[in-house]
Structure 1
C-alpha cells in the first residue's frame, strides 16, 4: 500500500494529466487502468498468523452513504464487532456523508468517524437528478456539462477522502452498498481510483443492486417486462458512453477487490453476466444477533421506541 507523504498529490496530478473532458475519455481511462495492472496485483507474503498480526496493527475503514438506525448501519455494527474480535488492536473508522444523531446508539466506542458531505447518497447527492431524472442527449449542453461536474467532483473526493486514508494509514476499505446502487457515482469512482493507485484492498459488500427491480425501456419492450422500482437508474441507458460507466463501477472488478453479496442469485449475476472471477465473489447472508432479540426491560423498550421516533421523524412530510 502506498501511503507516503505526497502520495495523494501524485495521484491527483496523474488524474489531472489524463485530461478527462468527455465521457469517452473517462471510459478509455478506466479500460487503461484494467489493462495496465500488475500481475499479481497484490500479494501478502507470510502465514495466516503473520497476516493476522499485520491486520491487528492496521486501520480498517467502513464506508457508506450515511449512518443512522437503519439496516446498513446495523450491519456495519455487526461487521465491526467481528473485525474487532478477529483482529484485536485494529483501529476501526466509519466514513460517511452524514451521521444522524440516532447513530450514537449503535456506533461502538473507540470508532473514529469522518463525515464528508460530498459523499452523501441518492437525493442528497447533488448530481443524482442529473444522472437519473434527466434524459440526456449526446452532444447537448447538459450532457457535456455533466461530465465536467462529475469528473471535478470525483477529483475533489479523491483529494479529501484520499488524504484521510493516507493520514490514518488505512489498509482495508469495507464498502457497504457504495458500489452496488449508484447513489453517488462520484464517490464510487473516487474509491476505485484510490484503491487502484494506492493499492488498497477492498471488500465490497452488496445488499442489493441497481438492476434488481430495474430495466431499460428497450429491455422492457423486447422482453415484455413490467415497470420496476429501479427503472429510473436506466434513464440514460440509451447512451452507451454514459451508462457503461455505471456498468463498470457497479460493481468494480479487480484482483484486490472481493465482492460479497447476500444471496446466491447475486453471485450468479456477477459471475455469469458481469464476468467476475468466481474466486472474488462470495456470499455472506444477513444475520441477527440472537442475544439481542429476547425479552428485555421496560427502559430498553422505551429507548427502542425513541430510536424509531427519531428515524421516522425525518419523513414526517411524506408519511400519511
Structure 2
C-alpha cells in the first residue's frame, strides 16, 4: 500500500485536523526522508533504522514502519517458492545489503532489548496492554524474520567455515520470555509464529554437513551443529526460569519419535533418510552427554507438571534416536534412581 499511496498518506498526516492525524504522522515519519518504497532507497531506510536503534524500548511507531518496509523488501512472502528466479534474487540482494551495512547486529539488539524489557515486566507482575503488546510484536516479528533468513543465507554460503554463535543468546532469551509472559488470546497466534521462527532459525545451524574426513569424534565436537547444542543445553540449565523453555526448544529441534504417522507408507529412500537423520543427531549429541545428564538431573526433582511432561518428552526423543543415545539416557536415569535410593536408605 505504501508503494502506491505513501505520498498521499504523508500529505494527509500533515493536515492538522485532529489527534488521529497527528498519531498517523508518527507512523509515517520515515516517509518524509524515504517517500518512495523501493530497493533503490535501501540506504536511506538503513539510515532511518540506525537512527531509531537506541530508542527501541520506547516502541516508536516510526521504527515499526521502517522495520516493516525493510522486511517487505528483503524477505519474500512465505508462499513464494521461486528459488533461483529473478524474483528470489531481488530479495537476496536486499538481504546482502542489510548484512553488509551492519544491520544484522541492530536487529539482534532489538530482539535482546525487547526480551529484557518483557522479562522485567513479567518478573514484576506487570501486564502489558493489548496496544503495547501489539507494538512489541510489530517490531519483533519482522526483525526476527530478517535475522532468521540472514542466518540461513550466511550458513548456506559459508557451510562448515561458519562458526558465529552470537545470535543464539538473543533467540534463546526471546523464546523463554514468550513462553513465560502472560499473553492474551488476541496475540496467541503471533506468539506461536515467533516461537516457530526461533526454532527454524536455530535449525539453520544444523545445515552444514561434515565431509567424511572430518566426521571424527573431534570433528563432530567442533562442528557448528554440536556447538549450537552446547549453547542450548548450557542455557537450558542456567536458571530455573530457563528450564522449561530450554526443554521446549530441544524438543522442537529433535526428530519426532518413531513410528512416524504418515498418510502413505514411506519408500526405502525416505526410510533411510529418517534413520540417517536420527544417527546424525545421536552422533552430534554424544560429545554432550555430561551436559544432557546435568540437565536431566536438575529438572528431574521438580514437582512442576509441565516441566516434568516436557522432560519426559525430551528423554523419549533422545532415547529414540539411536542405541548410543538410548544407552546414555538409560544410564542417566539409573544413576538418578540409585543416587536417590542411597539418600532414602
**Which structure features the higher share of strand residues?**
1
Structure 1 or 2, whichever has the larger Rg, is 2
What's the TM-score once normalised by structure 1's chain length?
Answer: 0.30
**Which structure features the higher share of helix residues?**
2
